[in-house]
Amino acid sequence: MQRHFELALESLKADIIKMGSLAEEGIASAIRSLQSRDTALARSVIDRDVEINALETRNDRAVVDLLALQQPVATDLRFILAALKINNDLERIGDHAVNIAESALQYAEREPLSLFVDLPRMSSVTMDMLRNSIDSFIHSDPLKSRSVLVNDDVIDDLNRKIVGDLSAAMRRDPACIDQALELIRVSRNLERVADLATNIAEEVIFIAEAQNVKHNVEKTVPGH
């Protein structure tokens, strides 16, 4: 029974890790499709969302079975509940990848904007947060989780700057309004992905430290 339980836990963890890779790949590909105007890539991101959705459903069932059949307590219970939430967060990240890919398709139909907007930095910081939050889950590393939390404000500032730059561009040249609106949508979707990466990091801290850091976050890396 104990052995079976451990195997089921490992399998849940493996599926969450797989989902994490799919979510990460989805966001990375969606951003790449926007930058390189690669509509086939954008469409493949939209098509592949079913894989994440199928994994979410499977993981949800695994959680119900684990709780019903094994009645775990303490660290195992915290791990399973956190996995349930992370599962949901990753599925939402998949949805944001789809939104970005849809914007990439719209954007590719028109002239690209000639101004520099700092979406490359925004997506690189967001991808780092996402990767680190998933790594911190894989290695049960709450110190790495805390490094994710500090970046949430950086993302908020970048989003505000990008939206400001793009609305200024629209005022200067109304012909670029549709293009600028798509990039604003991308920026807001990246901001939500960063929020969800922050949630995942908070869940990892919850598993490790049995404390709920949400709404009461020390946004500092210990020693800094």
Q: Which residues in 136-195 contact its own copies (CB under 8 A)? A: 163, 167, 170-171, 174, 177-178, 181, 184-185, 188
Residue with tokens 């950086």: 154
* Nearer residue to its own copies within complex by CB, 120 or 174: 174
134 Cβ contact list (under 8 Å, min separation 6): 17, 20, 21, 23, 24, 200
Cβ(212)–Cβ(82) below 8 Å: no
CA distance 146 to 150: 7
Query: Closer CB to its own copies, residue 210 or residue 221?
Result: 210
Describe the chain by its helix, strand, coil percentages, rounded to 5. 85, 0, 15
**Is residue 204 within 8 Å of 82, Cβ to Cβ?**
yes
Span near its own copies by CB under 8 A; candidates 2-10, 80-88, 100-108, 139-147: 80-88
Residue 32 or 78 having the CB closest to its own copies: 78
Q: Interaction with its own copies in 84-123: which residues (CB under 8 A)?
A: 84-85, 88
Contact call for residues 125 and 151 (beta carbons, < 8 A): yes
Rounded least distance, CB 197 to its own copies, Å: 15
Binding mask 24-53 for its own copies (x = CB under 8 A): --------------------------x--x
- Minimum CB separation from its own copies for residue 54, in Å? 7
Closest CA to 67 of 55, 80, 82, 54: 80
Distance CA 65, CA 198 (A): 28
Between 215 and 224, CB nearer to its own copies:
215
Concatenated DSSP letters of 18-87: HHHHHHHHHHHHHHHHHHHT-HHHHHHHHHHHHHHHHHHHHHHHHHHHHHHHH---HHHHHHHHHHHHHH
Among 214, 219, 220, 221, binds its own copies (CB under 8 A): 214
Among 21, 36, 71, 220, binds its own copies (CB under 8 A): 71
Return the residue of 68, 114, 222, 223 that touches its own copies, per CB under 8 A: 68
User: Contact positions toward its own copies, by CB under 8 A?
Assistant: 50, 53-54, 56-57, 60-61, 63-64, 67-68, 71, 73-74, 77-78, 81, 84-85, 88, 163, 167, 170-171, 174, 177-178, 181, 184-185, 188, 212, 214-216
